[in-house]
Structure formats: structure tokens, C-alpha cells
Amino acid sequence: MNEPQQPNGPAIVCENASKLFLDGAVTAFHKLDLAVRARETLCIVGPSGCGKTTLLRCMAGLAALSAGRLAVDGAPVHGPPAGVAMVFQHFCLLPWKTVYDNAAFGLALAGIPATTIRARVSHYLDLVGLAGFERNYPYQLSGGMQQRVGLVRALAVNPSILLMDEPFASLDAQTREILQEELLRIMDRAEERKTMVFITHSIDEALLLGDRVAVMSARPGRIKEIIDLPFGRPRDVEAVRADPLYAQLRAHIWHELKTARPAAAAAA
């Protein structure tokens, strides 16, 4: 296997970050510290309800911290930062728009010239295997194809940071593995490499996609541990799974997740 990529400076920094809901009755995460390196893929795993998605929404500027500091590329986040795109668990496609128009939506909103939109959208539709489906509507696509459109919509705006909120969770196992490999193939291209924060409940997905894995504790969430993965890039999925360290890391992360759950949940 290739050597793992070298650490870079932080693209996203959370310091002493907290998020409360319902006038403070519910704390999603509390005094959380995290630094995401530029051009790395950081996968975040944790028990349900530990604040993973809320943390990602704060990074995207879709929710504000209750306390602490959050900066993207050195600038405090007070709204959606420039250069950040998000892919959601649910496809969030506009049913009345074609594949092409859904994929071009962000570019059109930004006032990008039509010729540039055509070039970018066509490039990414071809990259994810959707060339020829430009005139189709979401209802005519499978779930995996719809999520590919969502990925193209995010990539087409050429973000420096890509936030992924369990984007493959609602797909069947076979489609999920196919899209994991396609995402790896895209992100391993030097010209496509971005900073990516990927939320997942799947330890295997985190090990396959990530450069590091952050394990969160139960709500109120904190970063319990960050694990550097020894798997290099470009990444071969079969080689990763065959590596003896894969099973060891999987067992370790599973142990950390089990001990991260509240006592009542662990005993259930």
C-alpha cells in the first residue's frame, strides 16, 4: 500500500464548541474541540443522537453554535461559508427539474455562465456514470442514481470543502458499496481532492473512506478519540479490507462506540 498522506493545516476548526436546543434543555454537543486538516477525509462516527449531523450543519453555516468558536479557512462561520457544499442523507432533489437542472442548480443560483455550467455538469455526470440521463426526472431514477445527482450538484460548484451527512445510509448494501468506490475514485483524482467531513454510522465505511476517524461520545457529544488510518491513497478497497490492521481498527472503533453509549442504552 502507498504511504498515508501527510498532515496538512486545518481547514475547519472547532474550539470549545457547544450547541443547545429547546432553550438549553437539550445539548447536542458540548465543549467540542476538532481540527479538520486541509484535503483530508475525516469520517465521524458516534452513537445516535450524539450531535454528528448538528455539528455538520454548524460547519455548513445552517445552524449557529450556542457557544465556542467555529472557523472555516480561518474565517468565523456566521452563515454558509464560501467554498463549502453539503450532500444530505435524503437526496433533496427538486422533483420538477431534470437531472441536468438539479445538478446545475447551485451554479445557476451563483449566476455562472451557461457555457461553464454545461461543461462542469457534463464533466461530473460523466464521471459518476449518468451521461445520457440529463433529461430524466428524479422519479425515473433509482435511489443510487438520485444520490449521484446530489453528489454532482455539490461537486459542480467546485467546493474546497465537502460535507457529507450519511449520504449512502438509505441505499441498499450493494449500491452503497458501489457509491463508496465511486466516491473514492473521484476523490483520489489529484484535481478533485477536497477537504471532506463524512458522517456515517458504518465503521466499515469510515475505514474505507477516511484518512482519520473521529469517534464521538454519547450526547452531549464530544470527540472521544481521533484515529489516524494507515491506508494510503489512491486507495484500493480490496487491499484495505485485506490489511490485517483493518480488522484490528474495526474492533477498536466498535469497542469505543459501545463504551461511548449511555449506560441505559448499553444495557438494553
- Whole-number pLDDT of residue 264: 41
Q: Phi, psi at residue 80, to the nearest 5°?
A: -55, 115
Fold of 1-8+39-63+161-268: Rossmann fold (3.40.50)
Strand 41-45 and strand 67-72: the pairing is unpaired
Rg (CA), the chain: 19
- Whole-number pLDDT of residue 188: 86
In one-letter notation, the amino acid at residue 3 is: E
C-alpha cell at 182: 465511486
- The full set of domain ranges for the chain reads 1-8+39-63+161-268, 93-158
Distance CA 6, CA 77 (A): 27
User: Residue 22 contacts by C-beta under 8 Å, 6 or more apart in sequence?
Assistant: none
Q: Tens digits of per-residue pLDDT, 6-16?
A: 445 689 999 99
- Whole-number pLDDT of residue 171: 87
Q: Tens digits of per-residue pLDDT, 243-259?
A: 999 999 999 999 999 88
Please report where in the chains the cell 449521484 appears, as a residue.
148
User: How many CB atoms lie under 10 A from the CB of residue 52?
Assistant: 24
In one-letter notation, the amino acid at residue 101 is: D
The ranges of the chain with pLDDT < 70 are 1-9, 261-268
- Whole-number pLDDT of residue 191: 78
Read off the pTM: 0.90
Distance CA 268, CA 265 (A): 5
- Whole-number pLDDT of residue 262: 59
